[in-house]
Structure 1
């Protein structure tokens, strides 16, 4: 965020802090082992006992919900930054566009030099489009955001239908090599062969320069990954703008309203999540069904549950207690914390660090998560007691404004209580 400590909105920081911490709980699997293991536990990393329990817990409580919160917060923050830029006599559109272009540069660096799971590029490009609808009233933002989500679900439905056809063709008696290749190039790659797993491990356990060369050689994958998820991300950003304009995300509603939303939305999301988990296990993680359930059918329930989470977090943040202040500080430094987790995780798992990639089970890899959470909570608040921004927040703001911003805090200022 591009605001100083004197005019923060505590509820936004608190929600953002929870989201950035929660995202790492699921991302750690994508750092620790082959990409297919994220959606298909039988592909790698274990899917029985503690490994299955961890996957199910993440799926039920975290997966999708934290990214949804993060995306909605990005939309809300877009309006907040524009408002404060214009209040300072600056051009809101120019400030926003510069911020997105700088964020895009950070995202491309993150993707090609550090980790394939970057979301900054997606947020920068989606943010440029969501910005066009910033003046719409709340009800139109909700309607348009919902339409974008529905459009995303329809696009994925079309893709998965083609994959279903490819699955049937590839496994039919006398299947052609072309049919088999089409399936293996699509969702069939979620069932990697031993040779493919070995190749993936060699890439991530090799030198950093080879890793970068590989990413640059496959540069179009980043474009495709961004375009695929843009409709959903834009929709969530618009819902976040509606949440900001209505006062929902800023904590302006009555406690009774937040209590009612949390008590309804969270159980609905948990019930849907439990049904998806049961289906995936009973279907032996049939990848077509997994994608239909999580990418398409679960989308409205994940969104509903995220709003329930937001309501619950706002209620818990009312007293600004010790842990709430720590989490809010982590949210104020979310950009630094997000990229920081990539640096920590790649050092732990990749070949230019400790090299644990592909050698741990799912639950063993997850043991890094509470340690990283502790680091986020430990450093963010003390840092902000001396500085206006997190390190990368400062860099983002300075590059966006075209000049170095004041970093050290004035002694008279204190963190919001």
Structure 2
């Protein structure tokens, strides 16, 4: 949306800049998964947790970033989805066909991302859940929030029961007299296999491309498993995004007092809960079963609280700095978030995997954060330069052209530059 001079309105700059901060924040956690075996993301015991400095780096990421930026990105996906639906309706177009074409192509992009680039794809998840979220598009904000919180709570309860049962059974392995001792030992043995999987991952990702591709094809159902595992987290977050777009929260129309109130209400308890969950993992010496429970269930309430608080703080920061060079660059990164997300996967796998620089498993956690800063700088540099000349990021243009069935204009008109 632009004004009469071809400039993007403040409402969209707020959304774009928040999306830019989110896609940058996602990298702060994903870089661990790019550079180390998968379980290292969940527990430093698996890899990269040998020193007190490593544990501090893990705690820094777990408390401040883990799940919060992905949560914010999911919220913004719901908001952007609703924005596109509203635009289509205002233009007299059929929003249903536009939406489902977009989601179909996003699913294809996601599957290509998973199979050919990186195992940590979320695009297929977003496309699948986005098809369901479309059914809620006409609901008013209060109803969306109630359902979002209800579904999110249901997801936390079910996940806690499932993985908590594993933890309870595994605890019985220490008591030979317990009737559950044998079952507990079996659970322990299954989780003990993680160490062998870490060794196998190190060999795989330090090697050439084709074995990595073969491994992905052998695990072709993993994108569907991700949908099942994450559905009751992702759908509620998208519904929250739709609600917070409807009520003006994400577009910056609330008062400064209200944004501060939201941040102060949810950030301290959210951070405290997350810190407690982190302490429980440390106290358990990062036992794998405890770590999985913490990652998938116990940390979820604190993550949601902190995600909402972060959103409020970001709106305040963006609104205060709107018009600055930094916010213009972050907003550009947000407008090209699709290109930045996939582009980051290409760059990072090339840096870390054996068919590139081969640094997989060789870089410490704090050093990875420095590499993250370098990638952030690159995002901020190229996104603004590109969008000063072109209407869309390269992958945004491709997605839009495919979804509309026609090549979209790419170059900006001289009057819009």
Partner of 2:89: 86
For residues 43-98 of structure 1, give each alpha carbon's deviation from its aligned partner in whole angstroms, at most 9, with x where no partner exists: 11124232112111111111111011000001111100111122222211111100
Cα distance between partner residues in 2 of 1:5 and 1:336: 22
- 1:293: how far off? 3.3
Give ranges in structure 2 of 5+ residues lacking alignment. none
* Cα distance change, pair 171–197 in 1 and its aligned pair in 2 (3 A): farther
Question: 164-173 or 341-350, which moves further after superposition?
Answer: 164-173
- 1:373: how far off? 0.5
For residues 149-192 of structure 1, give each alpha carbon's deviation from its aligned partner in whole angstroms, at most 9, with x where no partner exists: 1121122123203422552466665999987565444x444x41
SS in structure 1 at match of 2:415: coil
Partner of 1:158: 161
Contact 1:262/1:309, CA 8 A, preserved across alignment: yes
Q: Is it true that 1:410 corresponds to 2:409 in the alignment?
A: no
Of 131, 146, 150, which residue of structure 2 is paired with 1:147? 150
Contact 1:6/1:413, CA 8 A, preserved across alignment: no
* Cα distance change, pair 262–127 in 1 and its aligned pair in 2 (3 A): same
For residues 25-59 of structure 1, give each alpha carbon's deviation from its aligned partner in whole angstroms, at most 9, with x where no partner exists: 11111111111111110111124232112111111
Cα distance between partner residues in 2 of 1:176 and 1:269: 36
Cα distance between partner residues in 2 of 1:120 and 1:205: 26
SS in structure 2 at match of 1:131: helix
Cα distance between partner residues in 2 of 1:406 and 1:42: 50
* Cα distance change, pair 88–154 in 1 and its aligned pair in 2 (3 A): same
Contact 2:339/2:395, CA 8 A, preserved across alignment: yes
Of 47, 56, 59, which residue of structure 1 is paired with 2:59? 56
Cα distance between partner residues in 2 of 1:294 and 1:177: 26
SS in structure 2 at match of 1:371: helix
Cα distance between partner residues in 2 of 1:294 and 1:168: 19
Q: Is it true that 1:281 corresponds to 2:282 in the alignment?
A: yes
Cα distance between partner residues in 1 of 2:7 and 2:111: 29
Task: Provide TM-score, normalisation by structure 2.
Answer: 0.92
Contact 1:350/1:357, CA 8 A, preserved across alignment: yes
Contact 2:174/2:181, CA 8 A, preserved across alignment: no
- 1:292: how far off? 3.2
Q: Size of the alignment, in residue pairs?
A: 408
For residues 298-321 of structure 1, give each alpha carbon's deviation from its aligned partner in whole angstroms, at most 9, with x where no partner exists: 322211211111111111111312
Cα distance between partner residues in 2 of 1:345 and 1:384: 23
Partner of 2:235: 234
* Cα distance change, pair 5–351 in 1 and its aligned pair in 2 (3 A): farther
Correspondences of 1:121-136 after superposition (within 5 Å) = 121-136=124-139
After superposition, the CA RMSD in angstroms is 2.2
Question: 41-50 or 132-141, which moves further after superposition?
Answer: 41-50
Cα distance between partner residues in 2 of 1:283 and 1:132: 43
Correspondences of 1:97-246 after superposition (within 5 Å) = 97-168=100-171, 183-185=188-190, 187-189=191-193, 191-193=194-196, 196-246=197-247
SS in structure 1 at match of 2:235: helix
Q: Is it true that 1:362 corresponds to 2:345 in the alignment?
A: no
Contact 2:39/2:198, CA 8 A, preserved across alignment: no
Partner of 1:381: 384
Cα distance between partner residues in 2 of 1:295 and 1:5: 42
* Cα distance change, pair 202–66 in 1 and its aligned pair in 2 (3 A): same
SS in structure 1 at match of 2:414: coil
Of 34, 38, 56, which residue of structure 2 is paired with 1:35? 38
Contact 1:37/1:45, CA 8 A, preserved across alignment: yes
Contact 1:36/1:192, CA 8 A, preserved across alignment: no
Partner of 1:249: 250
Cα distance between partner residues in 2 of 1:270 and 1:27: 20
